[in-house]
Amino acid sequence: MKQRKLGTQGLTVSELGLGCMGMSMAYGTADESEAIATIHRALDLGINFLDTAEVYGPHTNERLVGRALRGRRDGVVVATKFGFRIGDAARGVNGSPENAKRVADESLARLGIDRIDLYYLHRRDPSVPIEETVGAMKELVDDGKVRYLGLSEVNAETLRRANAVHPISALQSEYSLWERRVEESVLPAVRELGIGFVPYSPLGRGFLTGTLKVHTLEENDFRRTHPRFSADNARSNERIVEVVRAVAHECGTTPAQVALAWVISRGDDVVPIPGTKRVRYLEENVRALDLQLTAEQVARLEGLAAMTAGERYTPEMMKLVEQ
């Protein structure tokens, strides 16, 4: 698999990563054996960029990734995140220097590795100057516990301030055919500063695959709480999927591959991390790397974000996203 550079500090990863969150939480019933088989298949296919976080579970996803990597650590880029205040669940944010260092040590232990390859601040803590948070993250680099630094869901100003303390290698934010607000000011800042961009939810949390039926989601599926997945908004958002399906039909491929190919095509500094917990969907996603959309098809896909009905998170969760 081809490699792409993230940032200017030497981080190189496969052109497609694997989001591991759904293997442990958020998307219905977990199946650890299938999840580990999916990670192993990803490695076999050349995907070497795995994404997890302290809050996923919480804690259980890092442990799962650690178990999957036993005997297969070499060449794998492990990304994890800190920044949520965790009790029985995520309860606000904590970007304090003390938390940055504590979580790094705990994540290393859960993952069973001696260094975190990419350490993200998961959400900015508005009560802590970003310079203090990134300063502590820089100390982790100096101490050899972390290789590269990243941020998630911050605005252009925060990104510039953070990068002045220590070079940021990657920004992770939501980006897809139905969510493109980062294009307004964040992506230009990313490129101005030479930072890599890691889109999460490039398949719209499964909606853009054309296979998801909102009424069939399990009771513990967190998408049930998201405005875009309400019955009325989902019906409206089917208009987006109809266009993606039409393009997929022309290409002889699947809507998921069309949606993912569009994200992959946004630049050589873009490395999406579609999440899945099943081998068959992983293999479908990888085939998107071979899909070349025509200029006419891209033009038809370009306007879909303007059709999106509903916000991407609940109001409470949106407060944690810098606009």
Catalytic positions are 56
Cα–Cα distance, 272 to 201 (Å, whole number):
8
Helix (H) or strand (E) segment spanning residue 172: strand 170-174
The answer to whether the beta carbons of residues 7 and 148 sit under 8 Å apart is yes
Cα–Cα distance, 197 to 7 (Å, whole number):
9
Tokens of 41: 């298949």
For residue 170, give the amino acid letter.
A
| Alpha helix positions (H), 194-278 | 231-251, 255-264
* Residue-level length of the chain: 323
* Neighbour count for residue 12 (Cβ, 10 Å): 14
The residue written with tokens 């989001």 in the block is 19
φ, ψ for residue 157 (rounded to 5)? -65, -45
Q: Would you report the helix, strand and coil content of the chain in percent, each value rounded to 5? A: 45, 15, 35
Cα–Cα distance, 280 to 294 (Å, whole number):
26
